[in-house]
Amino acid sequence: MCPPRVHRYKILATKYKIPEAMVDHTGFEKKLNIVFKNKDLLTEALTHRSYLNEHSSWRLPHNERLEFLGDAVLELVVTKFLFSKFPERPEGELTSLRAALVNTDALAEVAQGLELDRFILLSRGEMANAGKSKKNILADALEALIGGIYLDQQYEVAEVFIERHIISALESILTTQKYRDPKSVFQEQAQARVSITPVYQVVNEWGPDHDKRFLVGVYLKEELIATGEGASKQEAETNAARQGLVVKNWTN
């Protein structure tokens, strides 16, 4: 005989015609070392907007509100940590360190380490478009998860989670100086090595207003050095500069 909680998941899976693994997140909770009191918060955090387009009877909202909350919690925890750890560093350096810890690439890497992509609910179309491997989807879901942890477990548990999985990358960031703004570094290197100031141009943009994506190229005079993608022009420019440093071998 199935335990009550497992039986409830079977009922939900049958009613909404989704695999039980997508509803029963017990394995994921073990990986997080967090057991949600309100299981709906965890499921909501892992529900992408696109999933609702194909499942109109799905009883939970998508994860964008939790993402909004989680983003604020994440910024507060990281800011508080950096403020306390580096009392001698100016605001500008603290901002750069925070950005290095919470940018889309960094958060997507953490999400992949948690195998979060195995549990995100996406539309078939988004899945066919490699949606589960998209960095912005992974990063957004991680922020939504943080929002869910905050609501379900309160601030202290969310703080421990963020310190363990996100702030733990700080030592590596300091060693490699990844906290330095790639655009500033690329400009310094370009001016010092070839006496040219780089320029950025939008190569392409697509997607609805709520999920806009930009492809930006970084140029030295007329030469396209590299491109970068992002949810904003600024993020795309940063990624283009980061890739440009690799292409030009200006990383040392």
Give yes or no: residues 50 and 84 share one domain. Answer: yes
CATH code (residue 208): 3.30.160.20
What's the mean pLDDT in 124-153?
A: 88
Q: Binning pLDDT at 50, 70 and 90, where does residue 210 land?
A: confident
60's tokens: 């939970």
Q: Which of 159, 176, 193 is the last residue of a domain?
A: 176
Could you give the CA distance from residue 43 to residue 119 in angstroms, rounded to a whole number? 9
pLDDT at 12 over 60: no
Which stretches within 154-226 are classed as H helix? Answer: 155-165, 170-176, 182-194
In a domain, 134, yes or no: yes
Give yes or no: residues 84 and 122 share one domain. Answer: yes
pLDDT of residue 124: 87
Give yes or no: residues 209 and 161 share one domain. Answer: no
In a domain, 49, yes or no: yes
Give yes or no: residues 224 and 100 share one domain. Answer: no
Per the prediction, the chain carries an average pLDDT of: 87
In a domain, 152, yes or no: yes
Give yes or no: residues 193 and 106 share one domain. Answer: no
pLDDT of residue 125: 82
pLDDT of residue 199: 97
Report the predicted TM-score, pTM, of the whole model to 2 decimal places.
Answer: 0.70
Catalytic residue among 44, 71, 126, 140: 71
Query: Do residues 45 and 25 touch, judged by C-beta distance below 8 A?
Result: no
Give yes or no: residues 96 and 214 share one domain. Answer: no
Give yes or no: residues 232 and 124 share one domain. Answer: no
In a domain, 77, yes or no: yes
In a domain, 169, yes or no: yes
CATH code (residue 107): 1.10.1520.10
What's the mean pLDDT in 41-68?
A: 92
Which residues, 6 or more positions from 239, have their beta carbon under 8 angstroms from its beta carbon? 105, 182, 216, 228, 229, 230
By 3-state DSSP, what share of the chain in percent is helix, strand and coil, each rounded to 5? 65, 10, 25
Give yes or no: residues 26 and 135 share one domain. Answer: yes
Give the sign of the dihedral formed by CA 138, CA 144, CA 147, CA 151: negative
- Residues 133-143 have pLDDT tens digits of 688 999 999 99
Instruction: Give the torsion through C-alpha atoms of 84, 86, 88, 94, to 10 deg.
Output: -100
**Overall number of domains in the chain:** 2
Give yes or no: residues 10 and 90 share one domain. Answer: yes
Give yes or no: residues 154 and 213 share one domain. Answer: no
Catalytic residue among 24, 126, 140, 143: 143
What's the mean pLDDT in 218-236?
A: 94
101's tokens: 């810890």
Give yes or no: residues 94 and 199 share one domain. Answer: no
Q: What is the residue range of 196's domain? A: 182-247
Q: Which residue has the tokens 């964008």?
A: 64
In a domain, 198, yes or no: yes
Give yes or no: residues 210 and 105 share one domain. Answer: no
Q: Which of 136, 160, 176 is the last residue of a domain?
A: 176
24 is a catalytic site residue: no
143 is a catalytic site residue: yes
- DSSP of 207-221: S-GGG-EEEEEEEET
In a domain, 252, yes or no: no
pLDDT of residue 132: 56
Strand partners, 188: none
Nearest alpha-carbon partner for 129 in 60, 68, 207, 62: 207
